Each structure stands twice: as C-alpha cells, then as structure tokens.
C-alpha cells in the first residue's frame, strides 16, 4: 500500500464515528454488551475487539493497522515505551539457559535488559561487533535463540547487513529482532529482509514532537498474538488512547518532517566535515562513512542524528562548546522538531547507570526542523569559542 494512503486513511472507518475526519480518542477502559452471549463472544476476541483497553482500544487499533502496514508486517502492538516493546520482544523468545547475540552498542536500556535484568533469569548474551557477519557466525552457540540488531545504532551508527544476518539466522532457526528507530519504516523495512520482529521507540520520529513516550513492535500475526497473550497482557506496559492519538497525528507529517530533517542534516554535515576544529563526524549517509555502500543498499537516505568529535582532549573546552550552543538544546532523545545535543561528557560520572566506552570530546547532535543557516551559524559561533 502507498505510504500516504496508509498515513492518511488506512484503518479510519469514519462512518463508525459520525464521519469525523480526525479519529476519536476512545477514552474508555472497558466496553459493554447487550447480552451475556455477546459478551462471551467478544471476550474470545479480546485482543482484536473492544472489550477491555489493556487488550484492545479502538484508537490504538487504528494506529496498529498503520504501523503494521508501514513496516510490511501483518500486525503490530503499541507499548508505553520503546523499552517496553523491546523487553516484550526479547522475553517472548528466550527462557532460562538460552543465549542471545546482540550488537555491541545497542540502546543503553537494551544492554541493561540483556546483560543485567535477563542475566538474573539465566539468559546469557554475547555482545559483538555487528559490522561483519562472520562475528555473528562465531558468536552463535547451540542454545542461541535470538539475534538482536540495531541498524544503525543511535550513537555511533554502525550498520549490520540485514540480508546476510537474516540468511545466517534462518539457516540456524534463530529469531531476529531489529530496533529500527533510527530509520523509521519510511527509510528501512527490515521485514523485507526477513527480520522477524521490528521494534521502535515511537517517542522519536514516529510521534515527532517531543511530547510523549511510546514504543512499537511489528511482526507476523502469529507472533503478535503470542506476545499479546503473554508479555503484553501480563506486564501491561500499554499506551493510553491519548498518546496513541498523538502518534496518529504525528504520523500525518512524518514524510515531510523526515525530508526536511535530511535536507538540513546534509547542510550541517557539510559544514562540520569541513571545519578545522572538528576531528571527525559520523553519519551513515556521509560519503566518508566506510559503510556508505551498505547504507545505500538497505536504507533510503535518512538524517537527523550525527556524532561529532571535537579536536580537543580538554573537557573544559567541550563544555564551553556545548554551553555556547543556543539552538541545539542540551537534552536526551531525538526525532522531534527541535535540534538537540547529547554530550558524552555527561556520562562520564562514576555513578552513571550508562557505562560508556566513548571519549568526552564526543557529542551526538540531532538536527531538527530549524532553518539550517540558523544551526550552522550557531555551531560556528560555539566552535569559535574553543
């Protein structure tokens, strides 16, 4: 189905709700029935029919249809956060004694899930450099049940070859999960390569306005049903109808937001790559990226996040640079309208949960929807101060 058709119309049966153009926020925990028999019938279909909103809510239902269609899967689930979606996907697949192979720099709480939380329940994980398929092959054991990918990851943007990794996984009957938050379904569809479960933080591009936290899981109907009947209903990390409605609204402009973010990113990238005070820039669609060809093969051009290394070891200068930026707000997250900066120096604290191998001169930037000249001038004046 065509993308704008999905985003603008799929799942919206307007005659069911007074022909209102914008779908209603169905703010109800439960739904009632005329007869015992009708209630009994609907209870049997509680995952696909209004009964109780932990299972199915009509506003969330519209969103699920759109997300599944965008990701080329049969069904999807929406969670209270990206982390909840990731935890449900992983926990559905593994049990005590099982082994996971994960790329070495996933989202920080994915790392925590695998190496701390699930380690408590007897699940072991190998963290590998995912840029070479041989490393997956070498890490796979008899008890490997799951391969966890994040391509590109959201800090240093290493890619994994989706075609090669899924081929290997299928030959060994191992389930694959891919965190596709960076690319969104508009720039990469892991299901086309045979990835079994695709997860997203909807707090980023999908909602797009830095006003909610939510997560998405896309998979076959069979898998979604299984996850729903287990992790989803039991752990109960569901999204509320209002947040689901905000994501529906955010999705309407996803293509135009991504287009502008990419255009702005390419201009900012060109400025940074040619600046004498910048040691290095990492960006998947930079011609200098060693994985540029792979990026072009499996993704559509996609921007926003890029990581810079300032040409200094002096943490004071890094702080001066960051403190001098006026338009790149000092904040975590990304994917909204506003430009952001995340200095790795903030993780250099012995009390941090997030252990980092990265140096203090590294800063992740997110290029938002501001005019690129505003952003370039801002970077330029901050670089002059160091």
Q: Can you give the binding site for ligand PLP, defined by CB under 6 A?
A: 81-83, 107, 150, 154, 179, 181, 201, 203-204, 213, 215
Which residue number, 217 or 345, has a Cβ lying nearer to ligand PLP? 217
Shortest distance (Å) from residue 181 CB to ligand PLP: 4
* 8 backbone φψ class: left, alpha, beta (φ>0; ψ -120 to 50): alpha
Which residue number, 108 or 320, has a Cβ lying nearer to ligand PLP? 108
**Rounded to the nearest 5°, which phi and psi values hold at 377?**
-60, -40
Shortest distance (Å) from residue 174 CB to ligand PLP: 21
CA distance linking residue 341 with residue 334, whole number of Å: 9
Shortest distance (Å) from residue 284 CB to ligand PLP: 13
Q: Which of 93, 196, 191, 103 is nearest to 150 (CA)?
A: 103
Secondary structure string (H, E, C) spanning 57-104: CHHHHHHHHHHHHHCCCCEEEEECCHHHHHHHHHHHHCCCCCEEEEEC
**Host H or E run for residue 4:** helix 3-8
Shortest distance (Å) from residue 243 CB to ligand PLP: 11
Shortest distance (Å) from residue 78 CB to ligand PLP: 11
Strands 99-103 and 144-150: parallel
* SS3 assignment, position 150: strand
Which residue number, 131 or 320, has a Cβ lying nearer to ligand PLP? 131
Which residue number, 81 or 307, has a Cβ lying nearer to ligand PLP? 81
Strands 362-366 and 99-103: unpaired
Which residue number, 79 or 321, has a Cβ lying nearer to ligand PLP? 79
Shortest distance (Å) from residue 110 CB to ligand PLP: 6
Which residue number, 105 or 321, has a Cβ lying nearer to ligand PLP? 105
């Amino acid at each position: 189905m065509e993308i704008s058709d999905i985003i603008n119309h799929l799942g919206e049966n307007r005659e069911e709700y007074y022909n209102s153009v914008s779908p209603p926020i169905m703010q109800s925990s439960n739904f009632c029935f005329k007869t015992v028999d009708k209630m009994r019938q609907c209870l049997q279909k509680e995952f696909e029919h209004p009964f109780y909103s932990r299972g199915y809510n009509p506003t969330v239902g519209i969103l699920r249809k759109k997300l599944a269609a965008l990701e080329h899967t049969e069904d999807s689930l929406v969670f209270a956060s990206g982390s909840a979606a990731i935890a449900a996907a992983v926990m559905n697949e593994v049990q005590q004694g099982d082994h996971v192979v994960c790329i070495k720099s996933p989202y920080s709480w994915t790392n925590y899930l695998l190496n701390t939380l699930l380690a408590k329940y007897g699940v072991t994980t190998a963290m590998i450099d995912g840029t070479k398929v041989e490393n997956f092959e070498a890490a796979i054991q008899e008890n490997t049940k799951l391969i966890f990918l994040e391509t590109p990851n959201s800090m240093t943007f290493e890619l994994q070859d989706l075609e090669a990794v899924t081929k290997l996984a299928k030959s060994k009957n191992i389930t694959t999960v891919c965190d596709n938050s960076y690319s969104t379904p508009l720039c990469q569809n892991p299901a086309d390569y045979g990835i079994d479960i695709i997860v997203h933080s909807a707090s980023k591009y999908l909602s797009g306005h830095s006003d909610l936290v939510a997560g998405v899981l896309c998979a076959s109907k069979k898998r979604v049903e299984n996850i729903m009947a287990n992790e989803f209903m039991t752990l109960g990390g569901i999204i509320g109808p209002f947040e689901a409605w905000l994501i529906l609204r955010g999705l309407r402009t996803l293509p135009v937001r991504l287009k502008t973010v990419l255009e702005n990113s390419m201009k900012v990238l060109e400025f940074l790559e040619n600046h004498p005070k910048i040691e290095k820039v990492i960006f998947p669609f930079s011609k200098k990226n060693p994985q540029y060809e792979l990026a072009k093969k499996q993704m559509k051009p996609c921007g926003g996040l890029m990581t810079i290394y300032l040409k200094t070891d002096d943490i004071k200068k890094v702080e001066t640079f960051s403190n001098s930026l006026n338009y790149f707000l000092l904040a975590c997250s990304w994917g909204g309208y506003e430009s952001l900066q995340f200095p790795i120096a903030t993780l250099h604290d012995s009390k941090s949960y997030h252990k980092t191998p990265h140096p203090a001169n590294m800063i992740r930037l997110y290029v938002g929807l501001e005019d690129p000249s505003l952003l370039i001038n801002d970077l330029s004046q901050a670089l002059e101060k160091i």
